[in-house]
Chain A
Amino acid sequence: MTHYSAWSIVRNGLSGNRGWTRAWRDPAPKPAYDVVIVGGGGHGLATAFYLAKEHSLRNIAVIEKGWLGGGNTGRNTTIVRSNYMIPGNTMFYERSMRMWENLSQELNFNVMMSQRGQFHLGHSPAQMDGLRRRGNVMRAHDIDSELMDRAEVMRRLPYLDYSEKARYPIYGAMFQGRAGTARHDAVAWGYARAADRLGVDIIQQCEVTGYLRDGERICGVETTRGPIRAGKVGLAVAGHTSLLAAKAGLRLPIETHALQAFVTEPIKPFIDHVISSGAAHFYISQSDKGGLVLGGDLDGYNSYAQRGGLPEVEHTLASAMALIPSLSRLRLLRHWAGVMDMTMDGSPIIAKTPIEGLYLNGGWCYGGFKATPASGWCFAHTIATDTPHDDNARFTLSRFERGTQIDEKAAGPQPNMQ
């Protein structure tokens, strides 16, 4: 397998691009591994990579029922930011941001990290107070954040609706300059290739259907391609977390909900940053191909259907039009949905489970893409050492019964409101 470089592009370009070799192997599952990770999304692949790289484990498999990145990793709006306020979240997401900044180099794969900056709009004096507080917490943790008033936002984002009768009046914004977007598929492929180079077996079209047990302990998985024994099993299956936990006898503080995203026909450069709005729960950015990528709220009821309903289409597009009236004549190219593992406090779980041999990475809600590097890194640490790292120490399963939820939105145990 070749190392990618400017030189390899020139060399292969001159020889008609016939010299490229496949980016990762397609091995048949072995009878046993030290660690089996279930789920070939960004989180599962990153976990395998860091288990191999940081903890020198070599006998690892990632098992994916479909294709790599075919879950939420390949369906999300790719916003990467670290503007979280509650202890437990703040430094975890900042760890992730710092890892993103070097990820293309670390993986030798261009993940197209684009730190174009994110404006989070404030639509009332109270929201501006909230953003000032959040920004101050960030700055106290050495995370960049700027508060901008209405005049500054008007100068930077002249196309928003600033009129007297605007549905969402603009009072200002919180700006994180290091935030931005990355290419979702490249993240899955980059981690897959880098993990494969360290000997990780990546097995696609293989569904985990149950567990192998040694007494109470879990010692492997049943799959559609036969049983596979494992010293440890780690779950990273996003919206399907409850189903795989149920097979092990666990009930979780999770509901599965659908979230939709949209992309318009491509246009010339128009929106230079990521823009989000807390009032409308709406976010938009422009892809490198020119399409505007936008998304909104959950559909609002439990759903495993990877497609959404029309009311949320209307809501998202109405929000888009209310904030940026000049979008009115754009046509949508595609829209789709993913199924989210929504927790009862809106924060994730990276922890050992009460069942020996089983480790859980889940509950990412609609915000886990940005977490991919730190999630993989912390989950690998938890699996390899049997203790959490400081940065995921609060992402426990027991926090709910202990009353130490990390409820960034203060929405309470109502997943469709988180």
Chain B
Amino acid sequence: MIRLDCPVCGHRDETEFAYLGDATVRRPDPSITDPGTWADFVFLRDNPRGAHCEYWQHVMGCREWLIVNRNTATHQIDSCQLARSVFAGEATMAASS
């Protein structure tokens, strides 16, 4: 049983969460018309053995989207953050650089 430390609800069983997959995949800029870019976004994944950054949603709790760093070979969880705070952090970084 994987247990995730939801920043809102605390330690909860994996059965309370839904899984979406690779969180390093980001929707391309909508103005990009190259179909290859969109095909990559929809279909291609790194699928690493080891560190994996992924989306989970706490559907049976606070319903927040989370970004979890988990090892796909050992299931060790290194971090579990609110997706919106990760995105906000990225936006600040982008603005200040």
Contacts and interface: CB of A to CB of B under 8 A. Distances in A.
Nearest to A313: B1
Contact of A252 (B20, B47, B72, B75): B47
A309 B1 CA distance: 5
Given A309-B2, A310-B1, A242 B14 contact: no
A345 to B, nearest CB: 9
A311 B43 CA distance: 28
B74 interface: yes
Interface size class of A (residues with CB under 8 A): 20 to 34
A311 B47 contact: no
> Is the contact region of chain B dominated by helix, strand, or loop, or is it mixed?
mixed
A354 to B, nearest CB: 12
Contacts, number: 73
Contacts of A344: 42-43
Interface in A232-251: 240, 242-243, 246, 251
Interface stretch (A40-48, A136-144, A195-203, A409-417): A409-417
A417 to B, nearest CB: 10
Nearest to A251: B44
A74 to B, nearest CB: 20
18 contacts: A252-B47, A254-B47, A256-B72, A301-B70, A302-B21, A302-B47, A304-B49, A304-B72, A305-B74, A309-B1, A309-B2, A309-B14, A309-B75, A311-B13, A344-B42, A400-B43, A413-B42, A414-B21
Interface of B: 1-2, 13-15, 19-22, 35-36, 39-40, 42-49, 52, 54, 70, 72-75
10 nearest A-B residue pairs (beta carbon): A401-B39, A242-B47, A253-B43, A400-B43, A304-B49, A251-B44, A301-B19, A304-B73, A344-B43, A302-B72
